[in-house]
Amino acid sequence: MTAAPDSSLGLTGDERLRRYAELAVRVGANVQPGQEVVITCLVEHAEIARAITREAYRAGAKHVVVQYGDLHTRRAAIELGPEEELGWSPPYMLDWVRRWDEENPALISLTGNPNPDLLADLDPALVGRSEAKDLRLAFLENIRGRHINWVIVAAPNEGWAKQVFGEPDVERLWDAVATATRLTEPDPVAAWHAHAKKLERRADALNDRGFDAIRFRGPGTDLTVGLMPASRWLFATFSTAAGIEHIPNIPTEEVFTSPDWRRTEGTVRSTYPLVTAGTRVSGLEARFEQGKIVDVSAESGAEIIKAQLATDAQAPYLGEIALVDGSSPVKQAGLVFCDTLFDENATCHIAFGDGLRETVGEDVPPDKLLEHGVNVSGVHVDFMIGGHDVDVDGLDADGNATPIIRQDAWQLD
């Protein structure tokens, strides 16, 4: 007896899951023979974590370590634990992650909130402080130092499906995720390599122009983001210090860079909701002066954003600017996924907090990044600001504008 095929791909559920896990392992993290693999996920993601574990061993992994989290235990800490201990990082975990600069594991992280409203009735400021700050910084240091090949992929589940569709239709969510991640292609691995080449051409076009700034104009938005002379536009593929190429986000539709953290001016309104610290933020608006977010408001979730902006002195400054047009399969799905991994790949976005060292090259030491204009922070929060009604221009040093995106269509050859 054979299993029933999936609704849109002509695949059984088992085969779809295997192909998805293969995409995460072979294309995303690009796990190497003899490498240790770390999977971080929530307990509700166990089925997909198990499939990825099997594919990692097929790829030659030496060990696979799965680290499960649980939003219910996070709620218990916020609701019942000592407030001064919120955000505590277990020392044994810190010691382990800090050794990754020598051990160089592959990291595969799963996203997809199974309980979007679980923390909604708690004090937003406490929710914002409840993430293990030191542990997150240790992860970031390994990424900044290019010590690990890593990827974030989604884990469809009932709670996430209910947030997107209003009902727990996991099969429908799987269909959308499969389309957005090119799992519907006859050869998904080959399709991803071809897609990376397309994004590389876009990044090359931006780098050839050498824009001084990027300007966004649309309803509620008049924002100019200054770039560094050394800013390079990047695309899907990253490389570790040891030369392991990997694609950190699946899906990814963006070309991106780190702006000069000192040079953002104007106002901006988010065009998609975002989910951060387990909470949905809608209608986010921000005002920048001399690079810094000096005012923020939202229809819901503003206190979460304010708590994140207070994480450290550099949190209110930008670390990333990314350009995405309407040809994105994520955008074509016509959904708000309520998950940053997907929604940031539907349209242009910016991120406050930590920047990307790769945009200025390896010659700049970590302690000189701020001086060169790359932001350094313990947070990195993306929010979406593009769309059909938002024009995007590249500005030269004299303020002359070149259209990059009009009516959600890419203009720059």
Topology of domain 13-180 in CATH is Thermophilic metalloprotease-like (3.40.1830)
Average pLDDT, the chain: 93
In Å, the largest CA–CA distance within the chain is 70
Give the separation between CA 29 and CA 115, rounded to whole angstroms.
Answer: 27
Residue 230's pLDDT band (boundaries 50, 70, 90)? confident
Please check the confidence at residue 3 and state whether its pLDDT lies above 50: no
In this predicted model, what pLDDT tens digit does every residue of 291-338 receive, in sequence order? Answer: 999 999 999 989 999 999 999 999 999 999 999 999 999 998 889 898
Question: Would you say 225 and 264 are in contact if contact means Cβ atoms under 8 Å apart?
Answer: yes
> What pLDDT is attached to residue 5?
42
> What pLDDT is attached to residue 10?
62
Q: At what angle do helices 170-180 and 158-165 cross, to 10 degrees?
A: 80
Question: Would you say 11 and 19 are in contact if contact means Cβ atoms under 8 Å apart?
Answer: yes
- DSSP letters spanning 123-184: -HHHHHH-S-HHHHHHHHHHHHTT--EEEEEE---HHHHHHHHSS--HHHHHHHHHHHTTTT
**What phi and psi, each to the nearest 5 degrees, are found at residue 334?**
70, 25
239: three-class secondary structure by DSSP: strand
Helix (H) or strand (E) holding 238: strand 238-239
231: three-class secondary structure by DSSP: coil
Q: Where are the domains of the chain?
A: 13-180, 188-233+253-410
Give the separation between CA 14 and CA 12, rounded to whole angstroms.
Answer: 5
> What pLDDT is attached to residue 125?
83
In this predicted model, what pLDDT tens digit does every residue of 357-395 receive, in sequence order? Answer: 888 877 788 889 999 999 999 899 999 999 999 999 999
In this predicted model, what pLDDT tens digit does every residue of 50-101 receive, in sequence order? Answer: 999 999 999 999 999 999 999 999 999 999 999 999 999 999 999 999 999 9
Kindly tell me the sign of the dihedral angle through the C-alpha atoms of 210, 213, 217, 221. positive
- Paired with 245 in beta bridges are 239
In this predicted model, what pLDDT tens digit does every residue of 117-132 receive, in sequence order? Answer: 899 899 988 988 898 9
Higher-pLDDT residue of 153 and 363 is 153
Helix (H) or strand (E) holding 68: strand 63-69
Give the separation between CA 217 and CA 208, rounded to whole angstroms.
Answer: 23
